[in-house]
């Protein structure tokens, strides 16, 4: 791979069967995608599996993708769809077992030791997966509304509105989580 080679040239080479070009794309996007999926799922093994599956699906379909193609939104869309599929599978499985999907609420004793990032994660877990994905893609991954729209299959204006609503829902969820994490006065 040439230093500074563009995504477009790597995609073109990968479409022609150049495995090194695809490997360069994997090297370029593996860490950011893995981090995004970890924040989305809060499960390191699942995030690693979903990252691997994202690249496997991308490899299988790269020849059939339209040109020109924006690689980052395309990969994030595959990753987000895979995560959403996993969330749906888990919800169905948990319904069969009679349990609600999601993380457990901390006990009062555990709440005393919760750090800020854990409070943020608890608040994120209260959001719908679609809101959580848009919030993470816009705020943490710092993708543009256009890129996020390509990932979630929407328009940039719809993403802007969903991001605004997701931020407000997060604020409400966070405000609800914080008092529960504080020690109760006797």
CATH architecture, range 1-102: Orthogonal Bundle (1.10)
Positions of the chain with pLDDT under 50: 1, 96-102, 106-114, 185-186
Give me the pLDDT at residue 95, please: 52
Q: 104-180 belongs to which CATH class? A: mainly alpha
Give me the pLDDT at residue 107, please: 45
Give me the pLDDT at residue 181, please: 55
- What is the full DSSP assignment across the chain? --TT--HHHHHHHHHTT-HHHHHHHHHHHHHHHHHHHHHHH--HHHHHHHHHHHHHHHHHHGGGS-SS--HHHHHHHHHHHHHHHHHHHHHHHHHHHT--SSPPPPPHHHHHT--HHHHHHHHHHTS-HHHHHHHIIIIIS---HHHHHHHHTS-HHHHHHHHHHHHHHHHHHHHHHHHHHSPPP-
Give me the pLDDT at residue 106, please: 44
Topology match between the domains 1-102 and 104-180: no
What span, in angstroms and rounded, lies between the C-alpha atoms of 12 and 5? 11
Give me the pLDDT at residue 87, please: 80
Give me the pLDDT at residue 112, please: 40
> Any idea where the domains of the chain sit in the sequence?
1-102, 104-180
């Amino acid at each position: 791979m040439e230093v500074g080679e563009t995504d477009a040239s790597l995609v073109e080479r990968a479409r022609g069967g150049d495995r090194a070009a695809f490997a360069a794309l994997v090297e370029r996007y593996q860490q950011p995608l893995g981090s995004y999926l970890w924040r989305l799922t809060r499960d390191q093994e699942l995030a690693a599996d979903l990252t691997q599956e994202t690249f496997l699906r991308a490899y299988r379909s790269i020849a059939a993708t339209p040109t020109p193609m924006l690689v980052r939104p395309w990969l994030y869309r595959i990753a987000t769809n895979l995560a959403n599929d996993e969330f749906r599978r888990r919800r169905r499985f948990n319904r069969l077992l009679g349990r609600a999907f999601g993380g457990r609420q901390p006990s009062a004793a555990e709440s005393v030791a919760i750090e800020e990032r854990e409070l943020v994660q608890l608040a994120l877990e209260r959001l719908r997966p679609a809101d959580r994905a848009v919030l993470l893609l816009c705020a943490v991954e710092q993708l543009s509304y256009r890129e996020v729209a390509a990932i979630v299959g929407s328009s940039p204006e719809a993403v802007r509105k969903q991001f605004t609503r997701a931020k407000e829902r997060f604020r409400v969820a966070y405000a609800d989580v914080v008092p529960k994490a504080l020690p109760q006065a006797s």
